[in-house]
Structure 1
């Protein structure tokens, strides 16, 4: 192999963070190579050091982070480059798609401006040329109605749509190396397949090299050329994809490959009490208008949907990004106004006042899709988990709250000693577990889980599924489980609702939907996932 065949060489990379409890070593002397035109997948559980390795190379570590070793791009050292040199590398030669798009997109600027800015800066395009290119990129990543969406703010897009904007931004300047950190985490299965095809096409057309960080081994197997398996900051095994998947050598690799969601949930009895009902629920959002004379635009996110959740039941709600899944879940929790009726535990709460709803909030909890955006950066993880107890059980002592936090951390597979750390000190998957623990400590009757396992590796997903099953069986809980991960939905749900464009296109018991889907759209979802 000649020198020019190798694009990136990482040698003896070490990353550590200075914390009040001492030095924490996140990456422990790893070495990796990436050839031109190659896709290297880095897999491992949350906290294994996958993302921190790339963040160190790109000069993006937190203020308390440090790195040593070597990272050479095309033979030139880039680890520790001054900011001016790094900005050139990051803007033109190496780009990165981050795991959590809402924390990467500026909420004050329209996505068109954020897409155009790097092209104006690095390519010298005019504002008009950059806008036209931005619309092309939005089309490439399958954003619907790109000519209109280019003038949207990040909060006006679904989680999957925001992730697609991040992918478009990363591809804007035709980089040599694309670092994709969980790029399909927030995407539904059909768009996931399209995005992977797009990156594969770019790789072949311009010789793009890709570092693909993921916990989804099914995606890795279809997409990568080589795999490096990381555990606790070390590379325990690496090699060609087929060799790793067909004949893994390390016990940890074998465990990851065996960690697919399994089991099923039996349907609840037909006479099980109705707990949460939506009757002809409709949600319409209005944008524009006002004194500037902008045309008022109405978006019908949910259209005349009726759904019944019974005690002890888990309804899986699936569909593409923008299908209305999350909006329906929030409407049923009365987090914003909707048309139609919502009935909780026999009580019509459609017109309940905020004061009346406050008394019911403990019984109706929500786990958000984006954990970083829902966790206060100024509170410790332990304080976040027990925050609801201050509202609903103010008589509990501080010592008792701490005991509850310790148990909650154990339940979701986190080290209780970490409860005194802050959200930014956790990986994306660990933050999601904190969000789940926060909802669980209140022992609600209904829990709406909006992509609760999307940021978790498979082994932890299995733990969370078992946790949810145990809690449901013990307390008779009911779940609305919103997800694009059909393997997890099948393992946890006893009833499936398939949504598209704000309406239910098919519903039924889990086995019937997965084994014999009737509608073409449902068949398309199944084909993309399996």
Structure 2
């Protein structure tokens, strides 16, 4: 049965007067303020807004997945049945089988102790009653559908052995396994490069047409919302400020806030540093391989060549943008350059070969070369307050600082990333995805490093906050002479922040050069395909978007 034949007037999922509150050490937080939303069969409803607008918490409440300090009121109905307040056992008959959710941060949703194959098979066995062999066959089909290469091999991999984008695609496959009627997709393409974004959107469309599935698409990317959604609801401060057909809301917005969101886009270009600027990082022939599987019962191990003889030179005040599809090796390269993963080749930080110094010397160098990870929630301890997390590096590298001095440094770091220092006594789960990313940036900046490896630092942020973070990074770079390795799949952000760009594919360097030269006249077919996908995804001509 198709979406066209099932679409009707009765809502599959209906939120009425939904209200969400959290108890925190600083008082009650009113996250969602009595919103009304409805989703029909075969329809895609995009819920858009800035980080902290309440869009994700509204859907977490609908699924009965709020944190322990959260409570929800109002009504959530699935096919007319009230599900808000049901017991976990009763909800489990709905969740997964009838309503499924793709979460924003895949690493925290995948069990690190189980293989991808085991985790994909679980919903197939539970909800579809498949045998183990049939579940494995279906798991391979699902990984193929979401664009994972060599799916049979990947079944044996663990989550940490996949790239961020690949983990997100596994989450999508798991959500679709039981063929639910309602799919809540919370930033499902955040960690994906632009070419795979387009593939995932088309995949969701085809499944929607086949099963009449309703989709709630939570996103900060208005281009994707315009491209994919039938209707759009714009949220701010826990309220729906505008709702209507996507074509109307995103071309003729009635609310000032919606107009502001549409106008937000990282802009400008970065001039290169002086030609005689000192070299802070130099790498020659960096090579990284990983072994997957192996052992007495797992069969022979498999070798993956993640980075294949890549070289670069980073100068003081320079930003090198490293782009490529998920699994291209760009994040692995960034980790290898500061010795977070083992690598072959020659790597020199601040004139010191990292292969020739001891652990103590490497620790001293790492204070000057910090990293901001792609998955902020996975890198922030849930047992520590934000203030304790940000101050942790000072405890290691400046043990002589007293508590008052650390507190002043934490406040300054939070102000640098435009977060209210009064929030420092809260825990990571009490923040939105974008706010957690800013916390991760503050934790790295507090040590005043000379080199910062930024691994998708804006991937979880809405456009208006991305613009602010780009401006923040520019200011910090100018004031302190910082050097950045900026790893991203978002070509518009890379263009605004980088003066040199490296394009990677399958672990190899495809193309490198001054950013504007590469964007305006790419030499490699692959680079041209990336730029066309990035600037043409919402139907706008690349030249018009890049002018």
Change (3 A) 1:348 1:249: same
SS in 2 for 1:396: coil
Residue in 2 that maps onto 1:381: 386
Does structure 2 retain, via aligned residues, the 8 Å contact 1:4–1:74? no
Residue in 2 that maps onto 1:305: 310
**Within the alignment, does 1:99 sit opposite 2:109 as a pair?**
no
Residue in 2 that maps onto 1:10: 15
Residue in 2 that maps onto 1:204: 209
Provide Cα deviations, 1:239-295, integer angstroms capped at 9, x if missing partner: 111111111111111111111111110122222221101101111112344455731
Q: Which residue, out of 330, 333, 337, partners 1:328? A: 333
Moved more, 285-294 or 98-107: 285-294
**Within the alignment, does 1:354 sit opposite 2:366 as a pair?**
no
Q: Which residue, out of 169, 189, 192, partners 1:187? A: 192
TM superposition shift of 1:5: 3.6
Residue in 1 that maps onto 2:407: 402
Residue in 1 that maps onto 2:348: 343
Does structure 1 retain, via aligned residues, the 8 Å contact 2:157–2:293? no
Separation in structure 1 between the aligned mates of residue 30 and residue 155 of structure 2, nearest angstrom: 42
Q: Which residue, out of 459, 462, 469, partners 1:464? A: 469
Scaled by the length of structure 1, what TM-score is found? 0.98
Alignment of 1:64-75 (within 5 A): 64-75=69-80
TM superposition shift of 1:164: 0.3
Residue in 2 that maps onto 1:428: 433
**Within the alignment, does 1:520 sit opposite 2:525 as a pair?**
yes
Q: Which residue, out of 229, 232, 242, partners 1:227? A: 232
Q: Which residue, out of 132, 151, 160, partners 1:155? A: 160
**Within the alignment, does 1:24 sit opposite 2:29 as a pair?**
yes
Separation in structure 2 between the aligned mates of residue 389 and residue 30 of structure 1, nearest angstrom: 43
Q: Which residue, out of 57, 62, 86, partners 1:57? A: 62
SS in 1 for 2:335: helix
Residue in 2 that maps onto 1:135: 140
5+ long unaligned stretches in structure 1:
none
Separation in structure 1 between the aligned mates of residue 239 and residue 380 of structure 2, nearest angstrom: 29
Separation in structure 2 between the aligned mates of residue 38 and residue 400 of structure 1, nearest angstrom: 54
Provide Cα deviations, 1:465-484, integer angstroms capped at 9, x if missing partner: 11100010111110000000
Provide Cα deviations, 1:73-119, integer angstroms capped at 9, x if missing partner: 22221111222321111121110000011111111111111111111
Residue in 1 that maps onto 2:127: 122
TM superposition shift of 1:152: 1.1
Separation in structure 2 between the aligned mates of residue 425 and residue 278 of structure 1, nearest angstrom: 40
Q: Which residue, out of 369, 372, 380, partners 1:367? A: 372
5+ long unaligned stretches in structure 2:
1-5, 536-547
Provide Cα deviations, 1:43-100, integer angstroms capped at 9, x if missing partner: 1111111011011111111111111111112222111122232111112111000001
Alignment of 1:277-316 (within 5 A): 277-292=282-297, 294-316=299-321
Change (3 A) 1:512 1:317: same
**Within the alignment, does 1:446 sit opposite 2:431 as a pair?**
no
Provide Cα deviations, 1:180-222, integer angstroms capped at 9, x if missing partner: 0000011111111100110011111211110000111111111
Separation in structure 2 between the aligned mates of residue 222 and residue 433 of structure 1, nearest angstrom: 28
Does structure 1 retain, via aligned residues, the 8 Å contact 2:377–2:436? yes
Scaled by the length of structure 2, what TM-score is found? 0.95
Cα RMSD, aligned residues only: 1.4
SS in 1 for 2:529: helix
Moved more, 98-107 or 77-86: 77-86
SS in 2 for 1:359: helix
Separation in structure 2 between the aligned mates of residue 495 and residue 159 of structure 1, nearest angstrom: 24
SS in 1 for 2:97: helix
TM superposition shift of 1:322: 0.9
